[in-house]
């Protein structure tokens, strides 16, 4: 059985490709540059890749470029989307590829008779930013949907890109009768398969690499292996439907630093917060729906250890 993974070189997608190959699927994987060893060598080295991994070149902004990849696949995992915070032109760098790219991939799916289900990698940033204050007593769940206006007003361009893309995807699949589920992970950490640093692992690398202060923010964390697992479970379980929030724990950066200090007492970690305001509260994200898939989360302490060990091994942190 063949499945498609878009943006296969990425952090989450690399784990997803690994898992799909392990489970016996043939994987048709899209990458932007199949000739860049940094983007493909780690994929080609995976168990089963020699026989069952096929790489294709495709760009989110090129209409029709996903047609030959999606063709013949029973499942399509659409993970490709730019994830950066430091952008000059949010429209061109984030919003267009996220939104137009998602619709391009879904258009290819609507043409292919073979596709039984699409699994879209959305995000908790398309869930949690409704404008409602995120205080200690709040439990965020799949019924929340971020408000594009709130994202725009607060300059959360990446969140806006994911919110607009997921919203447009639901409208498109409803109109075309495509079966889709979305996976909405929090900040993804855990071991890297790719050789380069991605945005979410960089949040931990920055703390380890001698940041003077830690952000006054709470963040929603989950292990990349659980994220890959959830994608496959949501594809394989016939009764899976709708959205799945994936968060093992909401933690303030002060808590993350505390755990890192316990794990690595000799590390120089930031002692102070970026500001003197009261610490941003931590809230809850419901685990019920993800657990209904059979997911059992890896605890934050282990995820942080795996992240640091992997960053060390790849020479991405000074130690």
Q: Could you tell me the sign of the dihedral formed by the alpha carbons of 208, 211, 213, 219, in that order?
A: negative
134 versus 187: smaller Cβ distance to ligand NDP: 187
Q: Read off the tokens for 7.
A: 């943006």
82 binds ligand NDP (CB under 6 A): yes
Figure out which of the listed residues 48, 59, 267, 302 binds ligand NDP, where binding follows CB under 6 A: 59
Residue 220 CB, nearest distance to ligand NDP (Å)?
Answer: 9
Binding mask 149-188 for ligand NDP (x = CB under 6 A): -------------x----------------------x-xx
Closest residue by beta carbon to ligand NDP: 10
92 binds ligand NDP (CB under 6 A): no
Figure out which of the listed residues 19, 32, 56, 67 binds ligand NDP, where binding follows CB under 6 A: 32
**Residue 316: how many other CB atoms lie within 10 Å:** 17
243, β-bridge pairs: 182
Count of positions on this chain that bind ligand NDP (CB under 6 A)? 26
Q: Read off the tokens for 316.
A: 């991405």
Q: Which of 259, 258, 229 is nearest to 244 (CA)?
A: 229
215 binds ligand NDP (CB under 6 A): no
Residue 43 dihedral angles phi and psi, to the nearest 5°? -75, -45
> Strand runs (DSSP E) across the chain, as ranges?
2-6, 26-31, 53-57, 75-78, 117-121, 139-140, 180-185, 187-189, 213-214, 218-223, 242-246, 249-252, 272-273, 284-285
Figure out which of the listed residues 5, 10, 49, 255 binds ligand NDP, where binding follows CB under 6 A: 10
Figure out which of the listed residues 104, 200, 282, 310 binds ligand NDP, where binding follows CB under 6 A: 200
Residue 222 CB, nearest distance to ligand NDP (Å)?
Answer: 8
200 versus 303: smaller Cβ distance to ligand NDP: 200
79 binds ligand NDP (CB under 6 A): yes
Three-point CA angle 296, 297, 299, nearest 5° = 140
Phi-psi group of 154: left, alpha or beta (phi > 0 → left; psi -120 to 50 → alpha; rest → beta): alpha
DSSP code for 276: S
CA distance 278 to 195: 38
185 versus 270: smaller Cβ distance to ligand NDP: 185
40 binds ligand NDP (CB under 6 A): no
Query: What kind and span of H or E run contains 125?
Result: none
- Interacting residues with ligand NDP between 116 and 145 (CB under 6 A): 121, 123
**Interface with ligand NDP (CB under 6 A):** 7, 9-13, 32-33, 39, 59-61, 79-83, 97, 121, 123, 162, 185, 187-188, 198, 200
């Amino acid at each position: 059985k063949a499945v498609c993974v878009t943006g296969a070189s990425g952090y989450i997608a690399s784990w997803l490709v690994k898992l799909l190959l392990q489970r016996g699927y043939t994987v048709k994987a899209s990458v932007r540059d199949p000739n860049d060893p940094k983007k493909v060598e780690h994929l080609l080295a995976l168990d089963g890749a020699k026989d069952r991994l096929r790489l294709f070149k495709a760009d989110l902004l090129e209409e029709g470029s996903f047609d030959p990849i999606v063709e013949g696949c029973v499942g399509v995992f659409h993970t490709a989307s730019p994830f950066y915070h430091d952008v000059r032109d949010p429209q061109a760098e984030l919003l267009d590829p996220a939104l137009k790219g998602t619709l391009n991939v879904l258009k290819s799916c609507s043409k292919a008779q073979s596709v039984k289900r699409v699994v879209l990698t959305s995000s908790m940033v398309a869930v949690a930013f409704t404008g409602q204050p995120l205080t200690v007593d709040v439990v965020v769940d799949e019924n929340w949907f971020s408000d594009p206006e709130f994202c725009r007003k607060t300059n959360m361009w990446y969140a806006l890109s994911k919110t607009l893309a997921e919203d447009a995807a639901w409208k498109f699949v409803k109109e075309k009768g495509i079966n889709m589920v979305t996976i909405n992970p929090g900040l993804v950490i855990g071991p890297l398969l790719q050789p380069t640093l991605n945005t979410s692992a960089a949040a931990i690398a920055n703390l380890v690499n001698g940041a003077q202060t830690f952000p006054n923010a709470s963040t929603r964390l989950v292990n990349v292996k659980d994220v890959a697992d959830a994608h496959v479970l949501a594809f394989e379980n016939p009764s899976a439907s709708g959205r799945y929030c994936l968060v093992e724990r909401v933690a303030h950066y002060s808590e993350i630093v505390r755990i890192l200090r316990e794990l690595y007492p000799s590390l120089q970690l930031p002692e102070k917060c970026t500001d003197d305001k009261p610490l941003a509260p931590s809230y809850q994200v419901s685990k019920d729906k993800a657990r209904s898939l059979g997911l059992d989360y890896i605890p934050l302490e282990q995820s942080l250890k795996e992240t640091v060990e992997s960053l060390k091994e790849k020479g991405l942190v000074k130690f």
